[in-house]
Amino acid sequence: MGLYDRDYTQADSRSEFRYASRPHMMFPRLTPVVKWLLIINVVLFVASLLITPLARFLLYWFSVFPGQARSLQIWRPLTYQFLHDTGGFGHIFWNMLLLFFFGTMLERTWGSKKFLLYYLLCGAAGGLFYPLLVLAGWLEAGPLIGASGAVLGVLAANAILFPNQRLYVLGMFPIRVSVLALILAGISILTLLRPTELANAGGEAAHLGGMVAGAIYVFTESARAGFKLKLRKGAWRKKVTETRNLQVEVDRILQKVHDSGIHSLSRKEKKILREATKLERLRNGL
Judge contact between 146 and 80, C-beta under 8 A. yes
Task: Give the DSSP letter of residue 144.
Answer: B
Q: How far apart are CA 105 and CA 97, in angstroms?
A: 13
Q: Given this model, what pLDDT does residue 17 score?
A: 37
Q: Walk along the chain (286 residues) and give the pLDDT tens digit of each residue.
A: 444 343 333 333 333 333 333 433 457 789 999 999 999 999 999 999 999 999 999 999 999 988 776 777 899 999 999 999 888 888 899 899 999 989 999 999 999 999 999 999 999 999 999 999 988 888 888 889 999 999 999 999 999 999 888 877 666 778 888 998 999 999 888 888 887 765 677 888 999 999 999 999 999 988 877 777 777 777 777 777 877 887 888 888 788 777 787 788 888 888 888 887 777 777 766 5
Q: Given this model, what pLDDT does residue 136 score?
A: 87
Fold observed for domain 7-219 = Rhomboid-like fold (1.20.1540)
Task: Give the DSSP letter of residue 31.
Answer: P
Q: Given this model, what pLDDT does residue 8 score?
A: 34
Domain boundaries, the chain: 7-219, 227-283
For every residue of 196-257, DSSP letters joined together read: -SSS-HHHHHHHHHHHHHHHHHHHTHHHHHHHHHHHHHHHHHHHHHHHHHHHHHHHHHHHHH
Q: Given this model, what pLDDT does residue 171 score?
A: 65
